[in-house]
Every structure is written in C-alpha cells, then in structure tokens.
Structure 1
Amino acid sequence: MQNWQFSLTSCFYQSAGLQMFLGIMLNWAALYLFGAGIALSSEIQCPQTCFCNASEQMVNCTFIQLTTIPNNLPLNAKSVSLTHNKIRSLGSQQFQGLTRLHELDLSDNILAIIEVQAFVGLQALVTLKLARNHLKIIPVEVFSGLPKLQLLDISDNEILVLLAFTFRDLPSLRCLKASQNDLVFVSHNAFTGLTNLQELYLDGGNLTEVPTRAITQLGELKTLNFHHFGLVMLPNFSLYPLGHLKELVISQWAMLETLSVNSLFGLNLTSLTITHCNLSTVPYIPLHHLVYLVRLDLSYNPITYIYKNVLGGLLRLQEFQLVGGSLLHIELDGFKGLVYFRVLNISRNYLTTLESGIFHSINTLKVLGLDNNPLVCDCRLLWVVKRQSYLNFGGNLPVCTKSSQEEELNFLEFSQDEISRLLTCRRPRIRRRKKQEVTVEQGHTVMLYCNAEGDPWPSVTWLNPGLRPLSPIGRLRALPNGSLEVRYAQPQDSGTYVCVASNAAGNDTLPPKNTTQDFPFDVKTLLIATTIGFLSFSSSVCLCFIFMFFWSKSKGQIKHTATIAYVPRSTMSNSNSGNCAETTGRFTMKLL
C-alpha cells in the first residue's frame, strides 16, 4: 500500500512539472509569433485596392485604373502583377528595393516611355512582361541591372527600331518575345550579349530583308519564330550558321511563294513550320538535306499536289501537316521511304480519296486527320476502315459520298453489308479494243487515243517501245485526256506503244499500237530532187552546144569540125626548164 501511494504521488508531481514546462513554452511561442507578426506586417504592407497573398508573397494590382507604380509595394514580394491599368511611364530605379522579386508583369497598360535603368535593383528578377503597350523605342541600358532575367516579353507594341546593344546587359536571357511590332530596322548588333538566348520571336513588320547578321550572332539559339515578313522569297543562307537551331517557324508571310535552294543551308532542324503563306508546291529541294527533320507543317498554303518519291530524303520524318490547303491529289509513293511516319493531318482540303499506296507502310501510322475533304465512297477507303482501331482521328471522323447520292456517309461505321455494297470499285476497261497501225511522214505530228472507263475513273499511262512510261512533257508526251502525242515524228520513233489504264481495282492494257515512220528520204522528196537535177544538167548541156554553135561561125561559114590541141603536163613542165616539146597531141571533134 505504501509503495502504491508513493508511486501515485511521484506521478502527480511529474505531471505538474510537465504542465508548467508546457505553459512556459507556449508563452514564449506566443511572444515569438507576435513579434514575427509585427515584423511581417511591416514587411508586407499591401497597397490600397491591391490583393496580397502573404504565403505566396504575391501582389495583384490588376484592373484598378492605376496611373503610376504604387510606392508601398512589399519589399519581400516575389511576384507583382500590374496588368490592365493605365500606367504611362516608368522612371529610373522605379522598383528599387524589391530585391526578392522574381516576376514582374506590366502587360496591357499604355506604357510609352521607359527611362534608362528603370529596373535597377531587381537583381533576382527572372520574368519581365511588357506586352501590349505603346512602346516605340527602347533606349540602350533600359534593361541594365537584370543579371538573372530569363524571359522578356515586349510583343504587341509599336517598336520601330531595335538599337545596337539594346539587350547586352541580359547575359542570362533565354527567351525574347518581340513579335507583333512595327519594326523597320534591326541593328546588326541588336542581339549582342545574348549569349544564352534559346528562343526568339520576331515580327518582320515593315522589314525589307531578313536581319541575318543580327540573328546569326545567337549561337545557342534553338527556336526561331518569324512572323509577318513581306518577302516573296526566303533568300539563300538566311540563317547560316545557326547550327544549334532545332525549330523554325515562318508564319503569316502572305507574299512568300518559294524558298531559295540554299535558304536553309547549314541548319539541322527537327521541326519546320511554314504556315499562312503563299506556297503552291512543297519546297522539296530546299528541304532535301534536313535528314534530322521530324515534323513538317505546311498548313494554310495553296499547295495542290504532293508528288511521288520526293520526300524520301527526310529519313526521320514522323509528322506531316497540311491543313486548310488546296490539296487535290497525293500521288502513289508520295511518302515512300518514310519508315518512321506516324502523323498525317490533311484536313480541310479537296481530296477525293486517300490510297494506302502513298505510304511506305500503313502499319506505322497512328494519327490521321482526314475530315472536311470531299471523299468519294469506294474501295480506296477500305484500308482506313480496316485500321480504324489503330488510328486516332482527333475526334473529327471523315465522311464520304457516293456519286449517286449527296448525303454524307460515316464510312467508319458501315456494317459489313454496307461495306461490300458501298465501298466498291470497278476494274477499268479500254473501250476501243481494235489494234491500230499508224503511218506518218517524217516531221509531222500524230495522235494515238486510248479511252477507258471504270470506277474510280482510271488513269492512263503510255509505254514507249522500250516499255518505259512516257512523261507529260517532251516531244513524245502523254496528255491528261489519255492520248499520246508524237510531235515532229522521226524514224527512231517507230515501234509499239502500249496504253495501260489503271485504278484501285486493277488495270487493262490495249493491244499494241504501231506508229511506223517513213524513211528519211521519202518518194516525193526523191522525185523533186531528181527533177531539179535533170533540169539543171539538161540546161547546162544546151547552153554549151549553143555557145559552140555561135563560136563555130567564121565569115558566114560554119565549121563542122574543131581541132583541139592537147599538151601533156610533162611537156609543160619541161618547157619551163628550157626543153621544148617537139610534138603535141591533136584531136578532131566533129560538130553535128
């Protein structure tokens, strides 16, 4: 019993001591928090009408009609937003004391003037946004005192000139956005000092040339965005030698019609975008050396055809986009050689079909954009139906129409019966089967005809006597209507020409047609030449006899004989050396 009382008493004293200790600690904690609160309140004094978040050290002063920068911004603020106000100017050292500030947003004001050293003191600033203001010129040293700045946005202003050394005090800058301005001049040294810049967004405005000398100083540049240039052609060596550039975007060049052969020389791009321009063909030659290109976007250009076997040099190409163009046809083998091809988006064009033969392999294709095209329901779309479970259509399913119907049909949801009834083709048939032999004179033109029918409408190919396809150009050419034209026929054109009609269901061949050329000198020409020669000879003989007739007259007497002396050559040569010939040969010719 005594031992138990002692233990109980000991526990009582221990618990009382613990309570006293906890009370003292709570008092000290309360005093500490009170003192910290006083210090915090002195450091975060939120300007009137602004919203401050003490835990995130953020100050939000948007949409409150400010005309100047508030004077009592919290000194330990990390983010300050002053957007959508009416601030007109920034004075020198306007933000002095905000040494912890990481982000400053002054977008959507009416800023027209920024004085030199306006941002001095913001040594921790990482992001500065001045977009959508009324800046016309940025003085040199405006951005001094920002050693850690990584993103600068001066887009959507009215900037006319980028002066030399404007950004030289920004050694850490990685992204510069200067699009949507009215630039008329960019100094060759405008970007001097930007040794770490990796992204540049530049608007051509009223520039008459690409600022090549200024841009090529950016040796570490990886992304370049060009907007609103007024050039018809991208000149040679425009971006040489930006060897680290990986992504190039050319957009809103309304007059751009072509790229010079060496316009992309020296680049190792992985992504190329040329959109909202005036390209009528895919610029195959300027692109052929871009063996590391993965993505190619040519959307919103009036491109009508993609020809076969011209993109095969882009060995690593995985994505091709041509949205909103004028695409009428993609030839078979159009993407031949692209073994890694995965994404094709050709929405909003004028394609009537998409055949599986345009791909190197349909098994690699994962994304297909084919909507908003006037597709025709036939067997050429069967491969899309069979592989729809492997394809991503981006939520926009393609539809097709039958020639006899105007209703658009979702062919991806066809039943097996509808597929066999609607997605069908009819093998081509050449109408005129009779073998023809044509003879033509040299230098004349001859036409050979081949009329075929089928569903879909077949294409006609002509093979020369060596069984090689004839092209649409040249002296011997295959015309779009299926005819063969042989102009200025020559003997070597003789031989057998074969007509082949083909569509997705098969092909048909016309029995050989012979075009036989005459010999180089035909009968008519030979007769004319013989007649002319005979007349010339006869007239010469007649003239000779007439001359001899008048010559033979002497004092009214006609001599019927003429004596002609013949002197041998040896005799004449001996006479020159002093030895005279004693006799000469004499001949008598009787005139009849």
Structure 2
Amino acid sequence: MMFVESVVRWGTWSILLQFGLGVSAGSCPSRCACRPEVREVICSGKYLNSVPEGFSNDARRLDLSRNKIKTVGRRQFSGLVQLQDLDLSDNLISMIEVEAFLGLKNLKTLRIKNNRLKILPVGVFSGLYSLRLLDLSQNEILVFLDYTFKEVANLQTLEAGENDLVFISQRAFFGLQNLQELNLDRSNLTSIPTEALTQLQSLTVIRMFRLTISSLPNNAFRRLPRLRTLQILNWPALDTIASNSLIGLNLTSLTISSCNLTAVPYAALRHLVYLRFLDLSYNPITVIQGNLLGDLLRLQELHLAGASLLRIEPGAFKGLSFFRMLNVTSNMLTTLEESAFHSVGNLQVLRLDGNPLACDCRLLWVMRRRQRLNFDGHQPTCSSPDAVQQREFRDFSEKELVRLFTCRPARIMDRRPQEARVEEGTTVLFSCKADGDPFPTITWISSHKNTVSPTGRIRVLPNGTLEVRFAQVQDSGTYQCLAVNAAGNDSMSVGLYVKGVPRNKTTPFFLEESWVEPPDLQNANSSAQMAKPYPFDAKTLIIATTMGFLSFLSSVAICFVFMFFWSQSKGQIKHTATIDFVPRSSVGGGGDGADGGRFTMKLI
C-alpha cells in the first residue's frame, strides 16, 4: 500500500505518460497547478512577472491570468503544439512581439483581456491558423491597422470592446472571411467603421455598446448579406437614423436601446422584411403611430419598455399577422385599445405593468383574455378610476367587468349655432368643447373635407378651438367638429363666410355688398400688377428696323440715278464711283444723335 502511494506521489507524470493521459515527469512549472487528466496547466494568480518555462508539450489548456506579466516575447509558446486554450487575461501586458504565438497551430481560444496593450503590430498573430475566439477587450488599443488580423482567417468571434479605439483602418479586418461575431463596445469611435466592416462577409452578429455616435448615415452597414443580429445599446447621443441606414440587411433581430430616439424610425425599418425581434426600449419615444409597421411582415416581438409612450394609435400593428409579444412596461400609457392589433388572437405575451392604466371599456378586451394572456409574471394594475385604483387585473371577477369597465360616450357640451361673416384678413375662432369618459379627442374637418392639423394658418388649438388666421375668401364654407372616444362620438358644424376686399382702386367694378370677389376682378388685378419689362414690344422693333433699312436703300438709289444722268451728259467716258457709308456708333459720342450715319460718294 505504501508502495502504491509512493508511486502516485512521486511518479505521477511517468505513469500518465505511459498511458497517454499526461505529460513527462518534471514538466509542471513551479507555482503552477497541473491537471494531467485533462491536460491543463493552471498558473492563475501566482504573481508571475514573466511567462514561466517547463510546460509539457501535451498541454491543451494554459491559464496565466491574474499575474503581473508585462511582455510576451517572440515564439514564447513554440513548444506547446497541442495547446488549444491560452488565457493571458488580467495581466500588465503592454507589448506582444511579432510571432509571439508562432507554433501554436492548434490554438483555438486566445484571451488577452484586461491588459495594457496600446497597439497590435502586424504579424503578432502569425501562425494561429486554427484560432476561433480572440478576446482583446478592456485594453488601451487606439487603432486597428491594416492587415492586423489577416493571419487568423478561421477566426469566428472577435471581442474588441472597452478599448480606446479612435480609428479602424479600412483593411484592418482583411482576411477575416469566417468571422461571425464582432463586439465593439465602449470605444472612442465617432462614426461607424463602414469600410472596415465590408470585409466581414460572413458576419452574423454585431454588438456595439456605449458609443458616442450621434447618427446612423445611409448605407452604414452595407455589404453584410449574412448579418442577422445588430445590437446598438447605450448611445446617448444617437438621435438620427437615416432612412437607408439599414438598407441591404437581412436582419432577424434589431436592438436600438438606451439612445435618444424621439420617434420610431419607420423609414429605416421598412426594408427589414425578415425582422422578428425589435427592441427600442429606453428611448424618449412618445407614440407608436398607426399603419406604419406593416412592412415588417414577420415581426413577432416588439419591446419598448421604459420609454415615454403616451399612446399607441389604432392600427399600430396592422398587417403583423405573426405578432405575439408586446412589451411596453414602465411607460405613461393610460390604455391600449384592441384596434391597435392585427389580430389579438395571436397575442401571447403582454407587458403593461408600470403604466398609469385607466381601467375602462378600452381595456375590457384585455380583461376578458387575462386567463389566456401571459403577463410574464407582472400583473397590470389600475390607476383610475378611484373605484378600482391599485387593483391588479387578476383580482376582478367576471361579474365586475360589465359594471366597472365602462365608458361614457363623447358629447359636445355647447351646441349653439356658430356662424361668422367677416372681411378678408380677419382672424376667426370657433369653440368646440366636449365631455366623456374617456375624455374625447377633438378633430376638425375643413370645408374641403380635409382634417385640420395643429399647425398652419388654419389650425386646431390644444383646447379644441378652431383658429382661422387672416381669413381668405377661399376659406368660406362649413367646418365640422368631431368629438370621439371609445364609447362613441358626437359632431357639430359651424359656418364661415369671408367677404372679399378690393385690392385696386382702378378696378372697373366691385359689388360692394358681395361676400365673394368676382373671378374676373381677380384676373384683372393680377394682370394689372404685371408690369412690362421693356417700353416697346417686338413688333415696334421690327417696324423701326425696316424703315431705317428702306431709308438707306432710297438714298443709294437716288445717287445711282444722278450718276446715270451725269454720265450721259458727258458722253462715252469711263467713270468710277466709290460709295462709303459709315453708320453712327451706338457707343461712342455720336453728336446730338440727329443723323443716323455719314454718306459719302466720290466720282472719278
């Protein structure tokens, strides 16, 4: 028995080597723990100042984390041909020499997390043909140079977060044709490294947390056909997402959370027809508008927790036939109407807790399905009316629903006729006050059958009053006020008649008592205001030119007639005539302008 214990104690390595389970005797460095049965060497937390020697050639895992190693020299691990996992995390490494890992042809995982690296020389990863995971996070790396990772062609996951990155060169990721997951968290990047990312044709997941980028430009993630998951978290400056920023992507999962978006980026999302999971939580978004998410045909989950939601409009999820989960916890919603959904029968999970819910007829559909709906362990609670305040949905019996979850139809309070006859340019106000439970919304329909907006010359004020500023003749007509809530609606009409005002004292006629300006008058005024740019027209110019030319020809003809008679009186003589015509310059000083030119005739 003592003999066996002696063998175990002093001859472990020789026995394990004989059975192919371990390494040769004396191959475990001091201050390290070796586990030959799994071929591990654990040197973690041993206060080592440098990489020790004497490792077994058969070691598959080497843990050198939590030491004080400062430098990794060239071919530091060249003898460990079987090594698959190397951990250098939590050291003081500030320099790794070129070819430091040469010879580790079977290494699959390399962790250099939480060190003091500032730059990675090209060639530092030479020989790592089998590497699958590289963790460089929590260092002080400033830049990724061209071709830094070209020799780790089989790398699948790159953890590069929590560095001081200010720039990623366009060819930094050259050669990473098999990279599937990239993490770029908490860096000093000021823009998306679009050109560098285009090298990653096999990329399926990008995680970018805690950055200071303020906008996603068009084509920010172009030429990434296999990208399925994009996670953007905690970008407090991000408030702009261009309409084509995500174009060309086939995402199934998109997270843009804890940013500064004030509205759902509908234009950017409309291209993502394969999207199933969308998380826009913790953005100051106030409304989910109706009929704008219909292009996301496959969407199954929407998370908008911790935002500033005030309402979800009817038809918000119209066309989403696969929609099964809505998470709007911790917002400012008072209700969620059934009309917001394409089909409430498909809805499986609903998170409404943390909202000031008004338990009335609008939430009756939720109450009737509360046994089938999954509230994910968080029961919604009523905030109003007083009779049901602080009661959870599960506390209500079926008999109480009809009596407590009721609404009072909208009713316009003052229905006295309102009619205004004013002159053009006058500002007119029409009042429309309504009552109901829930409080109704006020909508005005113009005389042209259009909905009046809260902005513009004709607008609806916050209190429901219709304001027509600087009334024009064309504003004349009947306007309709609609008061609407979940229980019903009410309406009333008002009349506006605007009298035209004369615009020109030279107008040939004006019907003083008329309320509409004649169309002919408007045309006359418009024509009168159009001044001609020149004192004469083209016809006058042609006539003047023609008369001047005829005058010139007449003078020449008279001269020839005079020559003819003069020559006849002299008999048969040879004569020569020279005629010069010098027109008056239009630029220079032409005298008093009385003569059109100078005519000279010489007879020889």
TM-score range, shorter chain: 0.7 to 0.9
Give the direction of change, closer, same or farther, for the CA distance of 1:186–1:502 in structure 2 (3 Å limit).
Answer: same
Partner of 1:518: 499
CA contact (8 A) 1:178 1:202 kept: yes
Once residues 391 and 90 of structure 1 are traced to their aligned partners in structure 2, the CA distance between those partners, rounded to angstroms, is 58
Once residues 275 and 46 of structure 1 are traced to their aligned partners in structure 2, the CA distance between those partners, rounded to angstroms, is 49
CA contact (8 A) 1:183 1:203 kept: no
Partner of 1:114: 96
Once residues 98 and 330 of structure 1 are traced to their aligned partners in structure 2, the CA distance between those partners, rounded to angstroms, is 61
Deviation at 1:34, TM superposition (A): 8.6
Once residues 116 and 390 of structure 1 are traced to their aligned partners in structure 2, the CA distance between those partners, rounded to angstroms, is 62
Deviation at 1:495, TM superposition (A): 2.7
Partner of 2:66: 84
Mapping 1:121-132, distance limit 5 Å = 121-132=103-114
CA contact (8 A) 2:130 2:155 kept: yes
Partner of 2:45: 63
Partner of 2:473: 491
Among residues 166, 176, 183, which one is paired with 1:184 in the alignment?
166
Q: Is residue 358 of structure 2 the alignment partner of residue 376 of structure 1?
A: yes
Once residues 427 and 100 of structure 2 are traced to their aligned partners in structure 1, the CA distance between those partners, rounded to angstroms, is 81
Give the direction of change, closer, same or farther, for the CA distance of 1:35–1:437 in structure 2 (3 Å limit).
Answer: closer
What is the identity, as a one-letter code, of the residue corresponding to 1:218?
L
Deviation at 1:48, TM superposition (A): 4.2
Q: For 1:261-280, what per-residue CA distance to the aligned partner results, in whole angstroms no more than 9, with x for missing partners?
A: 32223222222211121111
Partner of 2:374: 392
Q: Is residue 281 of structure 2 the alignment partner of residue 299 of structure 1?
A: yes
Once residues 251 and 488 of structure 2 are traced to their aligned partners in structure 1, the CA distance between those partners, rounded to angstroms, is 41
Once residues 258 and 288 of structure 2 are traced to their aligned partners in structure 1, the CA distance between those partners, rounded to angstroms, is 18
SS across alignment from 2:342 = coil
CA contact (8 A) 1:44 1:54 kept: no
Give the direction of change, closer, same or farther, for the CA distance of 1:81–1:492 in structure 2 (3 Å limit).
Answer: same
Deviation at 1:147, TM superposition (A): 0.3
Once residues 125 and 39 of structure 1 are traced to their aligned partners in structure 2, the CA distance between those partners, rounded to angstroms, is 19
Partner of 1:98: 80
CA contact (8 A) 1:43 1:75 kept: no
Once residues 288 and 282 of structure 2 are traced to their aligned partners in structure 1, the CA distance between those partners, rounded to angstroms, is 15
Deviation at 1:479, TM superposition (A): 2.8
Deviation at 1:154, TM superposition (A): 0.6
- Identity among equivalent positions (%) equals 50
Among residues 424, 427, 438, which one is paired with 2:409 in the alignment?
427
Deviation at 1:39, TM superposition (A): 7.9
What is the identity, as a one-letter code, of the residue corresponding to 1:277?
C
Deviation at 1:412, TM superposition (A): 2.7
SS across alignment from 1:388 = coil
Q: For 1:283-316, what per-residue CA distance to the aligned partner results, in whole angstroms no more than 9, with x for missing partners?
A: 1122222222222211121111222122122222
Among residues 196, 202, 214, which one is paired with 1:220 in the alignment?
202
Deviation at 1:168, TM superposition (A): 0.7
Give the direction of change, closer, same or farther, for the CA distance of 1:497–1:269 in structure 2 (3 Å limit).
Answer: same
What is the identity, as a one-letter code, of the residue corresponding to 1:339?
S
Among residues 204, 207, 215, which one is paired with 1:233 in the alignment?
215
CA contact (8 A) 1:95 1:118 kept: yes
Once residues 147 and 418 of structure 1 are traced to their aligned partners in structure 2, the CA distance between those partners, rounded to angstroms, is 70
TM-score scaled to structure 2, two decimals? 0.76
What is the identity, as a one-letter code, of the residue corresponding to 1:365?
L
Deviation at 1:73, TM superposition (A): 2.9
Q: For 1:539-583, what per-residue CA distance to the aligned partner results, in whole angstroms no more than 9, with x for missing partners?
A: xxxxxxxxxxxxxxxxxxxxxxxxxxxxxxxxxxxxxxxxxxxxx
Once residues 86 and 93 of structure 1 are traced to their aligned partners in structure 2, the CA distance between those partners, rounded to angstroms, is 19
Give the direction of change, closer, same or farther, for the CA distance of 1:191–1:35 in structure 2 (3 Å limit).
Answer: closer
Let me know the Cα RMSD of the aligned residues: 2.8
CA contact (8 A) 1:248 1:272 kept: yes
TM-score scaled to structure 1, two decimals? 0.78
Once residues 116 and 50 of structure 1 are traced to their aligned partners in structure 2, the CA distance between those partners, rounded to angstroms, is 27
Give the direction of change, closer, same or farther, for the CA distance of 1:72–1:293 in structure 2 (3 Å limit).
Answer: same
Once residues 35 and 332 of structure 1 are traced to their aligned partners in structure 2, the CA distance between those partners, rounded to angstroms, is 73
CA contact (8 A) 1:442 1:491 kept: yes
Give the direction of change, closer, same or farther, for the CA distance of 1:310–1:73 in structure 2 (3 Å limit).
Answer: same
Deviation at 1:494, TM superposition (A): 2.7
Deviation at 1:183, TM superposition (A): 0.8
Partner of 2:565: none
- Mind listing any 5+ residue stretches in structure 1 that lack a counterpart? 1-31, 532-592
SS across alignment from 2:386 = coil
Deviation at 1:530, TM superposition (A): 9.9
Q: Is residue 345 of structure 2 the alignment partner of residue 359 of structure 1?
A: no
CA contact (8 A) 1:300 1:325 kept: yes
- Mind listing any 5+ residue stretches in structure 2 that lack a counterpart? 1-13, 513-604
Among residues 288, 313, 323, which one is paired with 1:331 in the alignment?
313
CA contact (8 A) 1:344 1:367 kept: yes
Partner of 2:127: 145
Q: Is residue 300 of structure 2 the alignment partner of residue 318 of structure 1?
A: yes
Give the direction of change, closer, same or farther, for the CA distance of 1:394–1:73 in structure 2 (3 Å limit).
Answer: farther
Q: For 1:187-242, what per-residue CA distance to the aligned partner results, in whole angstroms no more than 9, with x for missing partners?
A: 12111111111211124622333222211121222222223332322222222222
Once residues 376 and 35 of structure 2 are traced to their aligned partners in structure 1, the CA distance between those partners, rounded to angstroms, is 41
Once residues 406 and 530 of structure 1 are traced to their aligned partners in structure 2, the CA distance between those partners, rounded to angstroms, is 65
CA contact (8 A) 1:199 1:221 kept: yes
Give the direction of change, closer, same or farther, for the CA distance of 1:79–1:439 in structure 2 (3 Å limit).
Answer: same
Once residues 162 and 109 of structure 2 are traced to their aligned partners in structure 1, the CA distance between those partners, rounded to angstroms, is 19
SS across alignment from 1:440 = strand
Once residues 508 and 216 of structure 1 are traced to their aligned partners in structure 2, the CA distance between those partners, rounded to angstroms, is 58
Q: For 1:325-361, what per-residue CA distance to the aligned partner results, in whole angstroms no more than 9, with x for missing partners?
A: 1222211112222221122111122212222221111
Partner of 1:479: 461
Deviation at 1:527, TM superposition (A): 12
Q: Is residue 488 of structure 2 the alignment partner of residue 506 of structure 1?
A: yes
Deviation at 1:319, TM superposition (A): 1.5
Mapping 1:557-572, distance limit 5 Å = none
Greater Cα offset, 283-292 or 72-81: 72-81
Greater Cα offset, 421-430 or 52-61: 52-61
Once residues 508 and 359 of structure 2 are traced to their aligned partners in structure 1, the CA distance between those partners, rounded to angstroms, is 63
Give the direction of change, closer, same or farther, for the CA distance of 1:401–1:215 in structure 2 (3 Å limit).
Answer: same
